[in-house]
Amino acid sequence: MPAFRALLSVSDKTGLVDLARRLAAAGVELIASGGTARAIATAGIPVRQVEDVTGFPEILGGRVKTLHPAIHGGILARRTPHHLDELASHNLAPIDLVVANLYPFQATVAQPNVTLATAVEEIDIGGVALLRAAAKNHESVTVVCDPADYAAVADAITTGGTSVHQRKQLAVKAFRHTAEYDTAITAYLAQQVGEDDEPGEPALLARRIHIDLYQQQLNRYGENPHQKGGLYGYVGEAPAFELLHGKEMSYNNWLDLDAAWMAAQDFGAPTVAIVKHGNPCGLASAGTLGDAYAKALASDPVSAFGGIVATSSWRWWWRRLTKPRRWTCSARRRTCASSSTAARRCAR
């Protein structure tokens, strides 16, 4: 029996075949469940089905696949003589690598008109158990929940194995992954059952709020130069702004940018707002952004030095710059230099 065994059970099969091929080439015995095993076998890579290891078939339409002592015993066993002897007494063997990701619950409930029954079927049980078991025993087991980590893990295994530090990092990532997953399930089900509603009263304020954020940027410094700061966004959402060149933004830069941007968006005409250290230095609207900027800067050119300049939406002045289309008005039999909506309104 190979000394190193890997269990693979993934919903998102991105990068699965390449990972399996590299592991197999390194002499790793592959064990996989259901569709994961089929995807690996179809690629011509040797793989054992989970039921071949457990001696028990999948049941309940696939709800129970990997929840078995032959799987979890192999993952949770410490590499001590006592635990290894106990495994051997039951004809079991250690599992050294667990690759798993979860049913797409968040993506499912984000769809319009999804039913509660459909959402419940996307609550992963076995995958969460695999990740938590492997993460708990990270002293000996490597756990991977993100396809972005496949290459680094494969590199490590083919060159002698993962390090303790790498396994700790991957364990933290796995626990974070399952925590975010449970948070999404809790939030959805609480909404479905009206946990926050008082009898006969609509819910005005939630009793609990869970905010899932990730670090988009490490700021140059925090509120003061000797402090650290970071910019965070909601998980699943792209950053609102992109730094094209220059130094990283500071904490105060982001506050000024937010204030200037929001101020400029309140106006329909081309508008420029200038903010420095939380103080408005200039705000002006004009026929063009160039004229608006000149007026805004003239408000306080001294204080504006080093400040943040924000403009209103580009759509308004882009429409002004582009030549309007001409539409034939069937009612008056003449050409109307206007938008299609205005032309149709005139025709009526």
- Longest alpha-carbon distance in the chain: 95
> What is the model's pLDDT at position 214?
81
Q: How far apart are CA 147 and CA 13, in angstroms?
A: 8
Condensed to tens digits (0 to 9), the pLDDT of residues 191-216 reads 777 655 555 555 556 666 777 788 88
The answer to whether residue 170 is domain-embedded is: yes
> What is the model's pLDDT at position 332?
37
Whether pLDDT at 111 is above 90: no
The answer to whether residue 31 is domain-embedded is: yes
Q: Which residue has the higher pLDDT, 55 or 143?
A: 143
Q: How far apart are CA 239 and CA 326, in angstroms?
A: 38
Those residues whose C-beta lies under 8 Å from the C-beta of residue 124, and which sit 6 or more positions away, are: 11, 102, 103, 105, 181
Q: Evaluate the CA torsion angle 297, 299, 300, 306 in order and state its sign.
A: negative
DSSP class of residue 288 equals S
Condensed to tens digits (0 to 9), the pLDDT of residues 309-326 reads 998 865 544 454 444 444
> What is the model's pLDDT at position 337?
39
Q: What is the mean pLDDT of residues 263-270?
A: 87
Structure tokens given for 13: 């099969």
Is 136 part of the annotated catalytic residue set?
yes
Whether pLDDT at 143 is above 90: yes
> What is the model's pLDDT at position 121?
78
Is 276 part of the annotated catalytic residue set?
no
Q: How far apart are CA 45 and CA 118, in angstroms?
A: 33
The answer to whether residue 138 is domain-embedded is: yes
Please tell me which residue in 136, 168, 173, 295 is annotated as part of the active site.
136
Q: Please name which of 189, 178, 162 lies closest in space to residue 101, comparing C-alpha atoms.
A: 178
Q: Please name which of 290, 295, 347 lies closest in space to residue 320, comparing C-alpha atoms.
A: 290
Q: Please name which of 265, 266, 305 lies closest in space to residue 282, comparing C-alpha atoms.
A: 305
Of the listed ranges 154-158, 221-225, 241-245, the one predicted with least confidence: 241-245
Q: Which residue has the higher pLDDT, 267 or 324?
A: 267
CB atoms within 10 A of CB 3: 10
The answer to whether residue 332 is domain-embedded is: no
Q: Which residue has the higher pLDDT, 40 or 315?
A: 40
CB atoms within 10 A of CB 312: 22
The answer to whether residue 77 is domain-embedded is: yes
Report the chain's mean pLDDT, rounded to a whole number: 80
Whichever domain contains 111, its CATH number is 3.40.50.1380
Q: Please name which of 251, 259, 210, 258 lies closest in space to residue 231, comparing C-alpha atoms.
A: 251
> What phi and psi, each to the nearest 5 degrees, are found at residue 309?
-110, 125
Of the listed ranges 24-28, 102-106, 128-132, 228-232, the one predicted with least confidence: 102-106
The answer to whether residue 324 is domain-embedded is: no
Q: Evaluate the CA torsion angle 139, 142, 144, 147 in order and state its sign.
A: positive
CB atoms within 10 A of CB 177: 21
Please tell me which residue in 90, 210, 228, 277 is annotated as part of the active site.
277
> What is the model's pLDDT at position 330?
37
pTM over 0.95: no
167 CB burial (10 A radius; 0-12, 13-18, 19+): buried
The answer to whether residue 288 is domain-embedded is: no
Q: What is the CA radius of gyration of the chain?
A: 29
CB 252 within 8 A of CB 271: no
- Number of compact structural domains in the chain: 1
Q: How far apart are CA 280 and CA 257, in angstroms?
A: 11
Q: Which residue has the higher pLDDT, 58 or 136?
A: 136
> What is the model's pLDDT at position 328?
37
Q: Evaluate the CA torsion angle 64, 68, 71, 73 in order and state its sign.
A: positive
Count of alpha carbons within 13 angstroms of residue 343, beta-carbon side: 15
The highest-confidence range among 49-58, 66-75, 233-242, 338-347, by mean pLDDT, is 66-75
The answer to whether residue 63 is domain-embedded is: yes
Q: What is the mean pLDDT of residues 98-125?
A: 81
What one-letter code names the amino acid at 15?
G
> What is the model's pLDDT at position 314?
57
Whether pLDDT at 165 is above 60: yes
Q: Please name which of 10, 66, 53, 52 lies closest in space to residue 35, comparing C-alpha atoms.
A: 10
What is the domain extent for residue 144? 5-193
The highest-confidence range among 184-188, 210-214, 308-312, 334-338, by mean pLDDT, is 308-312
> What is the model's pLDDT at position 313?
66
Count of alpha carbons within 13 angstroms of residue 249, beta-carbon side: 19
